[in-house]
Structure 1
Amino acid sequence: MMDRNDDDDVMADIGHALELGRAGDRGAARDALTALWDRVGDAGDALHRCTIAHHLADLQDAVADELTWDRRALAAATDLSDERAQEHHASLRVRAFLPSLHLNLADAYRRAGDVDRARQHVAVATPLAAELPDDDYGVLMRDALARVAGRLDTGSREPLARS
C-alpha cells in the first residue's frame, strides 16, 4: 500500500491554497479554499470538508467566522472514517485529528468570551491529546491545550502566539 495518494485533486488543490497562505497571501488562500468548499459542497467528501474547513478557520479575520469553520471541521470529522483518511495517507487516524479540532474550538470560544464552551472543548481535547504519541504533534497539542487552559484561568481573550 502506498503511504500517500497523490491522485486526489482536491487535496492537491488544498495544498496549493495553503502555499499561498504560507507565502503571506492570506486573502488568496482564503479565496482558494472557499472556492474549494463551494466545489466540494456541504455534503461532499468528509476528508475534503474537514481539511478545507480546518484551514479556512485559521484564515479568518473575525473570531465568529473562525468558529463557523471550526464547527464545520469538527462536524466533517464525525463523518470521516479512518479508511477514508488512510486513502490519502496511510498514517492518518481520525481520532488523532480530534484534539486539534477541539483545541481550535476551545481557543476560538475563549477569544469570543464563551468560557463555558471553551472549557468544554478543553475537557474533551485533553484526554484525546494524552493518547497522542510523544512526537512533535503530540507535544504541540498538549502544550497548546495547556496554554489555552491557562488563558481561560486568567480570563485572557488575547490570541495565542503561534509557536
Structure 2
Amino acid sequence: MSWEPVLEAVGQAVNGQSEAAKAALEKCWDEAVEEDHAHRCVLAHYLADQQENLQSETRWDEQALTEFTHLQDGDLAAIGVPSTAGFAPSLHLNLGDDYLRAGRAQDAEDQVLRVKSPVVV
C-alpha cells in the first residue's frame, strides 16, 4: 500500500469530512496487510477520532499504539515525521484522554507519564 490513499483519507478527517473520512480510512485499513505497521498505526490513530462512542475510540487508540511498537525510526518519514518517536506523544495523549473520559484515572496518568519519557523503538 502506498501512502497516497492513506494521506487522502487523513486529509478528509482533518478537514472535517467525517463520513467520507471514516469510509476512506476503513477502506485503507481493510487493504493494509497485517505487517504494514506504519500505515496501520496512522490509520488507527485517525480512525479513533471518527468513532461515535468512547469504547470504539479507545480500541482504535490502543490499536494505534500496538502498531507503533513495531515501527522503526524513519518508518513515518514519508509523511513528514522524520523520527518515529515524534509520533508517540500524540498516541499516548489520545489514549490517556480516552481513559480519563472513561474514569480510568490511573491508566490516563500512565499514558501521560509515557509522554514525558517516551519509549523509543
Say whether residues 1:44 and 2:35 are aligned partners: yes
1:90 Cα shift? Answer: 7.0
Q: Aligned partners of 1:74, 1:46: CA distance in 2, in Å?
A: 10
1:17 Cα shift? Answer: 1.3
In structure 2, relative to structure 1, the CA distance for the partners of 1:96 and 1:29 (3 Å cut) is same
Q: Aligned partners of 2:15, 2:102: CA distance in 1, in Å?
A: 28
Match of 1:17 among 5, 9, 25: 9
Gaps of 5+ in 2: none
Q: Aligned partners of 1:111, 1:118: CA distance in 2, in Å?
A: 9
8 Å contact from structure 2 (residues 74, 81) kept in 1: no
In structure 2, relative to structure 1, the CA distance for the partners of 1:108 and 1:90 (3 Å cut) is closer
Say whether residues 1:54 and 2:54 are aligned partners: no
Taking only aligned residues, the RMSD between alpha carbons, in angstroms, comes to 1.8
What does 1:28-43 correspond to in 2, within 5 Å?
28-41=20-33, 43=34
Structure 2 partner of 1:71: 62
1:19 Cα shift? Answer: 2.7
Q: Which has the larger radius of gyration?
A: 1
What does 1:93-112 correspond to in 2, within 5 Å?
93-112=83-102
1:44 Cα shift? Answer: 3.0
Q: Structure 2-normalised TM-score?
A: 0.86
Identity %: 35
In structure 2, relative to structure 1, the CA distance for the partners of 1:97 and 1:21 (3 Å cut) is closer
In structure 2, relative to structure 1, the CA distance for the partners of 1:19 and 1:97 (3 Å cut) is closer
- The AA in structure 2 aligned to 1:68 is R
In structure 2, relative to structure 1, the CA distance for the partners of 1:20 and 1:125 (3 Å cut) is same
- The AA in structure 1 aligned to 2:35 is G
In structure 2, relative to structure 1, the CA distance for the partners of 1:79 and 1:26 (3 Å cut) is same
Q: Secondary structure at the match of 1:103?
A: helix
